[in-house]
Amino acid sequence: MGNILHLSQPVRIFARASAVGYDEYRGPLGPYFDFHDERDRFGADTWEKAEGELGRTVLNLALNRAGIPHTALDLLLAGDLQNQCVASSGGLATFGLPYIGLYGACSTFVEGLVCAALALNGTVDLFRVGVVTTSHNCAAERQFRLPLEYGGQRPPTAQWTATAGGCALLERGDTGVCVTAVMPGKMVDGGIKDAANMGAAMAPAVADTILRYFGESGDSPEDYDAIVTGDLGREGSAILADLLAGRGMSLGGRHKDCGVLLYDPDYQDAHAGGSGCGCCASVTAAHFLPMLERGEARRILLMATGALMSPASIQQGGSIIGIAPLAVLEVKE
């Protein structure tokens, strides 16, 4: 049973874009996002519709960067955290493009890269694919947790759903920033039932993906300039280090977590770090893809992290299932 899926035809990321809300703009990566809205509304009259606008915005920005019209895309892959993924459908319907909706919780951006790479790899009629994922703090907070007006207390292990969106456009090609291999995640149930500690629920899935990847590829962490996780946050990152140490592996300073990078722990009250479908997407698009484009990194292992649960599944005593799909990003000349 294969784990790593090698691509017989190389696939390249030819454009990317990111957009964020005010908190994310005030964070350490603020200047690098393509677009921000200080009121987090993106012109919409509800938070839910604002998230749809975020998706529409990042797709338009990526198309602008590539200098192509939306009709040059053959397929859109998208997902978000709203019930029935209505941010993606509501925000992207007007493009009139073939569409495949994904659900991987906060892992959806890399799930999208995996699907885009697999589809482009073998399908002669498919030329350019767009991946869009979004999250909005206010939409997520009132859907998953409490009314915004309530101002509920949050434990230190809780994460902050990012108001953010990211987009990557992919095509067949072997120059520039390429996706050279992908690996879908396996669902790992670590028995965590605390919805305020997603990092603990997702860390075992990341450990599973990392151990499978290095075990099968024969590579070691030193072969990569960065090993990036989506949104383990500080809590989940510490647990991941412990889990890997138990198997004799250390990622050391190579491990970077998008949720940790997004907010400043000293002056921003994001607790354990950022999360949400837009967290990994926006940080990858604004920080890691540009690092590869500028040659500051040559090879990055990118894993997004998802916590598969709903308020109903938690209320019914279900545990939170983690998943961590992987994409290998490499600069090719």
Contact residues for its own copies, defined by CB under 8 A: 1-9, 46, 48-49, 71-75, 79, 81-86, 89-90, 92-94, 96-105, 111, 114-115, 118-119, 121-127, 143, 183-189, 308-313, 316, 318, 321, 323, 325
Q: How far apart are CB 203 and its own copies at their closest, in Å?
A: 16
**Lookup: tokens for 115:** 């699907």
Q: Are strands 5-20 and 164-172 parallel, antiparallel or unpaired?
A: antiparallel
Report which residue type is found at 248. G
CA nearest to 180, candidates 300, 295, 284: 300
Q: Are strands 321-323 and 274-275 parallel, antiparallel or unpaired?
A: unpaired
Task: Give the span between the Cα atoms of 273 and 33, in whole angstroms.
Answer: 18
Task: Give the span between the Cα atoms of 9 and 168, in whole angstroms.
Answer: 18
Q: How far apart are CB 88 and its own copies at their closest, in Å?
A: 8
Q: How far apart are CB 205 and its own copies at their closest, in Å?
A: 10
Q: How far apart are CB 149 and its own copies at their closest, in Å?
A: 17
Question: In Å, how far are 11, 127, 129, 178 from 332, measured between CA atoms?
Answer: 11, 19, 20, 7
Question: In Å, how far are 74, 75, 215 from 71, measured between CA atoms?
Answer: 7, 10, 42
Of 86 and 211, nearer to its own copies (C-beta) is 86
Report which residue type is found at 275. S
Q: Determine the Cα angle at 48 with ends 164 and 71, to 5°.
A: 70
Of 151 and 191, nearer to its own copies (C-beta) is 191
